Structure 1
Amino acid sequence: MNNPYKTLIIDDEPPARLRLQKLLENFTETFQIIGFAEDGLDAKEKIATLEPDLIFLDIEMPELTGFEMLEQLTTIPIVIFCTAYDQYSLQAFETNSVDYLLKPVRLERLQQTVDKLKLFRTQDISQNVMQLLKELSTQKEEKPMTSLTVKKGEKLIFLKLDEIRLFKADERYVKVISKDDSYLIEDALSSLESKLPDNFLRVHRSTIINKNHVKDIQKYFNSRFIITLKNSKQSTVTSGRSYNEVIKSWIAS
């Protein structure tokens, strides 16, 4: 391709958009940034009006997730996911000729993306993405897990999900908080969410709680809630605004 790809950056976090923009400026022969979108609905409109050749797409966003947005498109551009999905899903992305970047995106990894774009056949993109969406939908139907393996020092501990109070994203790790202790695991919150049973609820972009261990809930300003959990530290979580309706539905049930 002689001309650079007309590129749209889709991410609900301004720092992530800015970081990616600065990285892409190192590859002006490959990418021409034509706009930004801050959620799934905004992305759908921008794709229709700007007609990008290529999009950098976050997955966990308010309004519509990246996958839900793609399913509503009639024409799908080249998709490069910027996400924190687990390794199993990343293999699916590769198998379907859709590239991925783990956050935080690094310059040397972006160079690999540029190299891979040279091998792309644009006419196959829509078919590959739709196949990916079908495979990920099948993954969601798997039975939820009942325990979690965590590491403490040199030991591996099998932690029952019933003992876990909350999961909280901590940079490239997830903090697992039980009644009296906490652990770090190398996993993605979005990946965990798809496997957890119904008594776990995502109340913030970075937090999943165990509803069975909630002590009390208080209303907070700006359509948010403060949730106190039953553990030795009486951990509190402030919910995200985009999870307001989910939490209200849970309270009402």
Structure 2
Amino acid sequence: MLPASAPTAILADDEPHMRAMLREQLEALWPALRVVGEAEDGVAALALIESVRPDIAFLDIRMPGVTGLQVARAMTAPTRLVFVTAFDAHAIEAFEVHALDYLLKPVDPVRLARLLARLRALMMPLPAATPEPDLARLAQALARLEAMPVTPPPAVRLQWLQVPMGGQVRVVHIDDVAFFESDLKYTRVVAGEVDGIIRLSLKQLAEQLDPACFVQTHRGTVVNRRQIHAVHRHGEIMELELKAMSVRLKVSQPNHHLFRAM
């Protein structure tokens, strides 16, 4: 059991699989750190920071509703900030709100380990979290947040995946993926020598993929058009031959029209 004085953190990211991967990295690199909450949008992140008052907040920048930068400007808790984002265009703004660091997705474990070592060295006792949130302070923080202009984030397509394989994590660019296959509530990723499971359902994944490049062969499989070498037809049966792979993917009857022109 960890002592009550163990350092605490919250994770804020609208992508559940990114929160899961970061949580796993933190558990491996800093076992004493307690993740005491997670949020998937800016308003929830601010409320969590103000109520829990963690030592560290790992914030995505582009989240639904309000951004991580707006959360940083509205918060009153003495929480140290680390931004974790897929975009490098906000680094200056991040340090203007006194962020300790700015990590790019996919998070490099070596880079993260160095940051955590620095955090441990810098960690000073913070005011103890109160049993109940200070509702007046939270209301003031939310009021400041509501007064900020709300701009919906642009649609962002998935670019990189971190795929666990054995004792390591392989980083795969989305263009290199041959196909995705449903595996209960998780998804199998096949890309060249990489064949592993990610903690994301096929439905959640499909929402982040470019529909011009990724199409369904049937309910449980999504294929990358760039990786299709040939389409084979045998009567009512249609199969896709993929580049540099022996496997052939069957296409369900309702999806035949997607591949007839290939």
Q: Same fold (TM over 0.5)?
A: no
Q: Which has the larger radius of gyration?
A: 2
Could you say which structure has the higher helix fraction?
1
